[in-house]
Amino acid sequence: TNTRFLDSPNRSDTRSLSVSLSGRPEGPWNYRFGAGTILSGGNSTFAQDSVSVDGYLGYKINDRQNAYIQASSGRTTGYLPQSQMFFGVFYEYRLWQNVSLIGSYKWRKVDNLDPLFTSGAYRSRGFDLELSFSFGN
C-alpha cells in the first residue's frame, strides 16, 4: 500500500507478506503453521516493521473432545519496538451442538525493546476456563 496525505509531505508505504500451511491428514491430527512480515517505508515517525510465526497442532479425541496446542512468536522494530511469545495448551469438550467448554493453560511474554520506555512489558500465565459458542457451523 502507498498512502499520500493531502496538504502534507508525509507518506506511508507498506509491504506485507503472509504465508500459511494447513492440513488435516487421515486420522485425528490437524495442523496449521504460518509466518508473516510487514515492512514499512515512507517518512512517518510511526513506521513499524514486524515479523511473526505461529503454529497450531490439534488432536481429535472423539466426536465431543479435542486437544490442541498453539504457539506464536513475533518481533516489531521501529516505533515502540517489542517482542512477544505465546504458548497455550487447550482441552475442548463439546457440551451440546455448538456449545463447548474449553480449559486451557496459557503463557505469554511481551518485552519492550525501546530503551527509552520501561512500560509495556509483561509476563502472564494461568489457567482459563471458558464457555464457547460457535455460530454458523
Q: In 10 A of CB 86, how many CB atoms?
A: 16
pLDDT of residue 137: 58
Residues 58, 60, 61: CA angle, nearest 5 degrees:
130
Nearest alpha carbon to residue 111 among 86, 128, 136: 86
pLDDT of residue 9: 78
Intervals of the chain under pLDDT 50:
none
pLDDT of residue 22: 97
Report the percent of the chain where pLDDT is more than 90. Answer: 64
pLDDT of residue 116: 79
Q: What pTM, to 2 d.p., does this model score?
A: 0.81
Sheet with 82-96, edge to edge strand ranges: 2-4, 11-23, 29-42, 48-60, 65-78, 82-96, 99-112, 122-133
